[in-house]
Amino acid sequence: MNVRLLCFDAEWTLYEQVAVAAMDCQRLDVAKDCVGVLSKQFPGSMRVGRLEALLFEAKGEWADAERSYALILENNPFDQIVHKRKIAIAKAQGDMALAVEYLNKYLELSAISQLTKGRNREEESSELQSLAAEALLKDYKQRAPLKEALVTNLLKNMKLS
């Protein structure tokens, strides 16, 4: 690997790590600067999008964080990090019913993910996979009808539908 490329990658990783550490320490000005630099360098990046949403969370701007996470999930419905963050937001707001709803959704997606990776060999039933895929597709028809084709293609690529 090229030493220059390695240094380049390390620089951006460092910006990301400093942003998260700054949020943990409530140095939101530093976090905002780091996220801004990363946003300019990697426009449209989902990874940077997650950082932007984390910054909204750190500021207590729950609605903006939720919107950011919803956009990420429209393009990647299986993003487990985002699902975990949504659970954390609901808990932080004291909405335990919503946290449980989000947790159930996360567990459903996690089960689908495990089935596709073959981790649950004892549960390889194609019927179980098919039911899980149908439930996910039905949910996305309601939440993001314009993304139905994307989810359908994802499920086909994972050989679930």
What is the secondary structure of 94-110 as a DSSP string? T-HHHHHHHHHHHHHHH
For the cut 90, the answer to whether the pLDDT of residue 17 exceeds it is yes
Q: What pLDDT, on the 0 to 100 scale, is given for residue 161?
A: 53
User: Between 148-157 and 126-143, two packed helices, what is the crossing angle to 10 degrees?
Assistant: 160
Lowest mean pLDDT among 50-64, 83-97, 115-129: 115-129
Asked whether the beta carbons of 131 and 107 are under 8 A apart, the reply is: no
- pLDDT greater than 60 at residue 3: no
Indicate if the pLDDT at residue 111 is higher than 80: no
140, pLDDT greater than 80? no
How much is the mean pLDDT over the chain?
Answer: 84
Write the CA distances from 129 to 4, 81, 105, 109, integer angstroms.
Answer: 45, 22, 16, 11
Of 20-24, 96-100, 129-133, the one with minimum mean pLDDT is: 129-133
pLDDT of residue 69: 96
The pTM assigned to this predicted structure is 0.67
Domain map (residue ranges) of the chain: 1-59
Query: 57-73 burial by CB neighbour count: b if 16+ within 10 A, else e?
Result: bbeeeeeebbebbeebb
| pLDDT grade for 1, boundaries at 50, 70 and 90 | very low
Mean pLDDT of 11-19: 93
Task: Please report, rounded to a whole number, the percentage of residues in the chain having pLDDT higher than 70.
Answer: 83
Where is 141: in which H helix or E strand?
helix 126-143
**% the chain with pLDDT above 90:** 51
